Amino acid sequence: MNLAWCLLILSIISFLEFSHGASRPREVHIGAIFVLGSINGQVSQIAMEAAVNDVNSDPNVLGGTKLIITIHDSNASGFLSLIGALQFMETDTVAIIGPQTSTMAHVLSHLANELHVPLLSFTATDPTLSALQYPFFLQTSPSDIFQMTAIADIVSYYGWREVIAVYTDDDHGRNGISALGDKLAERRCRISYKAPLLPDPGATEDIIKDALVKVALMESRVMIVHTYPKSGLMIFDVAKRLGMMQTGYVWMATTWLSTVLDSKPEVPSSLQGVLTLRPHTTPSEKKKAFFSRWNKLNNGTLRLNPYGLYAYDTVWMIAFAVKELLDKGGTISFSNDSKLHAVAGGSLNLEAMSVFDEGKQLLDNILNTSMTGLTGPIRFNPDRSLIRPALDVINVVGTGFREIGYWTNYSGLSVVPPETLYMKPPNRSSASQTLHGVIWPGETLTPPRGWVFPNNGRQLRIGVPNRFSYREFVSKSKDTDTVKGYCIDVFYAAVNLLPYAVPYKFIPYGDGHENPNYNHLVQSITTNDFDAVVGDIAIVTTRTKIVDFTQPYIESGLTVVAPVRKMNSSAWAFLRPFTKMMWAVTAIFFIVVGAVVWILEHRINDEFRGPPRQQVVTTLWFSFSTLFFAHRENTVSTLGRLVLIIWLFVVLIINSSYTASLTSILTVQQLSSSIKGIESLATSTEKIGYQRGSFAQNYLIEELNIPNSRLVPLGSPEEYAVALERGKVAAVVDELPYVELFLSNQCKFATVGQVFTKSGWGFAFPRDSPLAVDMSTAILKLSENGELQRIHDKWLTRRACSSQGSELESDRLHLKSFWGLFLICGIACFLALLVYFISTIRQFKRFFPQEAEPSSQGSSVSKRLQTFLSFADEKDETFSKSKRKSSTDNVQEDESRNGSKRKHMETSPDSQMNGNSHGTH
């Protein structure tokens, strides 16, 4: 019986194993579409075939299933690539590696979407191959978005602002350069010119030469080459013949160049000083062993590049995905596409193509890949990009090249290997961004400036204001077009410090009869009427939005000029420190405090008693003598002393403030004006003058909400003086440099208040102009070596009169500065009186109780009030007796102590001896 059960179990197990074995296919087919005549095609073919052999030789991967790869040569033809893909769909292919170009990836991805066949490519790195549009397409190497980010970081690292893009005009080139433009814009850089080329093999030397000749006329000298190896090498050959590989140029190439450098032993001489990028692969023993094995695989005819490593790893990703599919009991099956039946027939044989039923599951298995390949750790992010994208930064030098650093999406540019950076927190700060030294074209170690003046023979058109007034700053000669002035001399001095020549010509702006509108002058840069504007141009917010300014070469800001009069000393100068209200309130409080102290002391203090006239005099004398702390009357009540202490503190503060203010009035020259600053001017209804053409008008209207009807345009310093003297305007609002020059010979006016805007004057250039940066550096040098001050003294030296004006009348001491002290004193007086009256009323009720049956209500109230007043006027004998008793007790205590002392002396031995001795004597 047991033997029968054992045979049955063995039979079942054998059946299950047979069934399981029957479900696993003997062969799994994958396809590959490459240009086998290209470097990447040749390297990828060898690497993929080696990977297939390694998969089949390892029984732990697919078991009894054999992986078969078929490689189709597209011969750089999009049509042949499509034919190859269609053929694979007819032969039950589970996955396709390729195509090699992004252009064909866009086309074949539609086919993959329809037939559910995963399409994996490590060379089609177009960033627009979206997972949403092409769900069955997967990039198994870093997308071009990362290398464009790296290039943008390098451009920003060296301080360049504009680049020129030379690229192949196809999906790969256009979309890559578009991504570069976005990344540069994030760093406030831009592509100033694009030079598209025909795709290979359409790009010829003549076409490339025509494109580079146009590039040579441009301002930027930073070139980005994003193309294919054949046309890319041709670009550098033509550039060398045109003299564009000399000092001052910067050439950067995308990863196509590193592929050439890694795969071919010789380095063309036309590539000297070029920067390029290479996909970074993690160093490992597995990678090192494959490099050692590579020479046997290709017979030493071709060197391995990173794309060969990606090709090898891509095959293994597919193998592991198939293994997981089969291990979980899945099958590999295909079914007819119902959509193709409608177009069946004819010679295309479209009905032969079938849908891969398990394609979605196989794609999910690939996306869930977690392995370590020749390129390093392989996993996909949720957006289907590979984890930890990194690039090597390479500099072509001599007959070879060297790594000058790395770029990672984790920490940017660094000389530290990415594997070390991943062990630290991410750091994208500008201070951490670094690269080793570069040998640039022309064999120079100094980073190129990155731009030159365009080689088109045109001078810079510099607009200068043709001023009518304040011609010391900038003015045009009446006979010629020459200009001169403070601003022009600063410009000359800054240009002379530049390390290159600047061809320019000045173009006056305005008719010379009145000052031009400076806002319109600055806007003329945006309309390409001028290449720059030089003059007394204020740097304000509205202008910085449309142009770039240099470093300010003089401080400026709006200030208020008003008529002032000198305050001469007089016999009543001692009254100036306090306002009338302050004097009145202070006098009232002297009387009030004296009265309060008299009330509190009258019943108990003999010094505050006597005839009425004597009491009034005593009270006034006591009150006003506290001003000098010279009061002789003593206060004996607790409430009186409390009020007096608080009042003496108030008197101390008032006395000190009065002394300080009077000292200032008598020792400092004082000027007075009804206008105290921009605040009082804005709240008044007076007319305000401003310089015609300046930004002061817009500021007063837009920022301070002053009606335009209150503003009066003025054209010259003479108009300022006339308008202020005749009262046409209450004040003039103008920029500080103009005001200082105006006040140098106008002693009747002065600035009032503070400068209420902080700005400066600078030279205006178009947005992102590199000349603005260099001119700013030159202006800083002028400031450091003192040249700016010498130019200022030459044109704007002020006369002696200008030293006046800024010192106006000090604000007088107002009641609002002391109301807190008076409030405290008043509250103290009120509380003291309240407590005193309550105590007095209680004593009055105790000594004079109310009558039980008064004769009449009115006479009783009057009589009782008279009695209370008499009681309040009487001396408090209780307090006096208590005081006398206290004094008597003190006297008795002193006598008792003295008597005890005498008794002690009489009974002491020494006293007795002295007595006996005296008696004997």
Convert the pLDDT of each residue in 436-453 to its tens digit.
999 999 999 999 988 887
Q: HSE (CB half, 13 Å, CA atoms) of 565?
A: 5
Identify the residue with better confidence: 662 or 422: 422
pLDDT at 759 over 60: yes
Q: Which of 19-28, 388-397, 488-497, 753-762 has the lowest mean pLDDT?
A: 19-28
State what percent of residues in the chain have pLDDT above 70: 80
Residue from 789, 797, 802 nearest 553 by CA: 789
What is the per-residue pLDDT for 808?
41
Q: At a CB cut-off of 8 Å and minimum separation 6, what does 848 contact? A: 864, 867, 868, 871
| pTM (2 d.p.) | 0.67
Convert the pLDDT of each residue in 861-903 to its tens digit.
676 666 666 666 566 655 555 555 554 555 455 555 555 444 4
Angle at 339 between CA 335 and CA 345, to 5 degrees: 90
pLDDT at 921 over 60: no
C-beta separation of 750 from 805 below 8 A: yes
C-alpha distances in Å from residue 306, one per residue of 122, 295, 371: 10, 15, 18
Convert the pLDDT of each residue in 22-61 to its tens digit.
467 889 999 999 988 888 899 999 999 999 999 999 988 8
Q: Coil, strand, or helix at residue 28?
A: strand
The helix (run of H) or strand (run of E) holding residue 525 is helix 518-526
Strands 688-691 and 711-714: parallel
Rounded CA-CA distance 775/495 in Å is 7
Strands 460-465 and 504-509: parallel
What is the per-residue pLDDT for 362?
93
Residue from 573, 794, 534 nearest 667 by CA: 573
198-206 long-range Cβ contacts below 8 angstroms, 24+ apart: 198/168, 198/169, 199/103, 199/168, 199/169, 199/170, 199/173, 199/228, 200/76, 200/168, 200/228, 200/230, 200/231, 201/76, 201/230, 203/168, 203/227, 203/230, 203/231, 203/234, 205/234, 205/237, 205/238
pLDDT at 717 over 50: yes
Point out which residues pair with 879 in neighbouring strands.
none
Beta-strand (E) ranges in 746-828? Answer: 749-752, 759-761, 764-765
Residue from 596, 601, 602, 614 nearest 874 by CA: 602
Q: Coil, strand, or helix at residue 94?
A: strand
C-beta separation of 735 from 696 below 8 A: yes
Q: What is the mean pLDDT of residues 5-25?
A: 51
